[in-house]
Amino acid sequence: MSPIKITVLHTGYIHIFPKRLEDGYNVFKAFGIATPREDWLWLPVSSYLIEHPRGLILYDAGWGRNMSPRGVYDRKAQIDALGSYLLYKINQGVVEKGMTAKEQLAQMGIKPEDIDYLILSHLDCDHAQGTKDLFGVKNVLLAKDEYRFARKFNIINRIRYHSRWIRGMPVTFFDWNSSDGPFHRSYDLFGDNTVQLISLPGHSPGHIGLKVRDMNGKYVIMYGDCGYTSKSWQLAQPSGIAVNRKKQIQSLKWIREESINPYCIESMGNHDPEVHPHVLTL
């Protein structure tokens, strides 16, 4: 089999309340009223291009261009793009010119139409809001569990999720067809174990990570928001919003085991400031 190439892209930055990296945080604390804005953190927002012999995959869409129409922080544009003032209060973003997933793919000569699968780790805005920028992708994959949860009516979900980010896109809500991961629930994309979409619940119920493996068993783990940094799995410490803290700890323990395995080439969280854009080959 030809090599699998993974390109780690930074598709903008997210501005968050620092306690979001720690245990015990919840969505109400996310407003960070007691913490001055200058103490908030800017963290990268990542997307990953996976050039696999059986198709082109993009894992997470990142922010859309409409978050920063002129490439700089734009309060009014963000409230419109996020569709909610409250969501804007929790998450601000910046996408410099040329930085969206679509713009970076174009620099590589890749059009949205060339992408076989856009896989969304979950439906939070910094992962799904840019989906429509990629209009033309052949398939968008989202775990059925995530969609089911996002549709449940409660006040937090109404702040957190906006269906218009994915409306009109060719979304497949997939169910598990394989048994990898901490809960023995995964989706084997090509049926050959080279791309497993792993159920890593906790941060959100249908959150998925990716395990990309070559024929010799070497692999790369991309764990999305299951942990914000490697410290999260080293300490099995839930970070960010944990809808189910117990499940997130179980997910983190699995990431830890996988990350310290000698066959693991690299293990990456979506917002880890120590993970810079780079290319790796399996």
Give me the residues that bind Zn ion (CB under 5 A), please.
126, 225
Minimum CB–partner distance for residue 250 and Zn ion (Å) = 20
Closest to Zn ion by CB, 100 vs 194, is 100
Question: Helix-strand-coil percent breakdown of the chain, rounded to 5?
Answer: 30, 25, 45
Which residues contact residue 75 at a Cβ distance below 8 angstroms, ignoring those fewer than 6 apart?
Answer: 88, 92
According to DSSP, the β-strands at 186-188 and 195-199 are antiparallel
Minimum CB–partner distance for residue 225 and Zn ion (Å) = 4
Closest to Zn ion by CB, 68 vs 194, is 68
Q: Output the CA–CA distances (angstroms, integers) from residue 56 to 47, 119, 189, 252, in the order listed.
A: 13, 11, 12, 28
Minimum CB–partner distance for residue 3 and Zn ion (Å) = 29
Closest to Zn ion by CB, 74 vs 225, is 225
Minimum CB–partner distance for residue 20 and Zn ion (Å) = 10
Helix (H, G, I), strand (E, B) or coil at 16: strand
> What are the structure tokens assigned to 211, written together?
């395990």
Closest to Zn ion by CB, 213 vs 247, is 247
Which residues contact residue 149 at a Cβ distance below 8 angstroms, ignoring those fewer than 6 apart?
Answer: 157, 204, 205, 206, 243
Question: Rounded distance, CA 188 to CA 175, Å?
Answer: 10
Closest to Zn ion by CB, 181 vs 224, is 224
Minimum CB–partner distance for residue 263 and Zn ion (Å) = 27
Closest to Zn ion by CB, 77 vs 123, is 123
Question: Rounded distance, CA 107 to CA 257, Å?
Answer: 36
Minimum CB–partner distance for residue 271 and Zn ion (Å) = 6
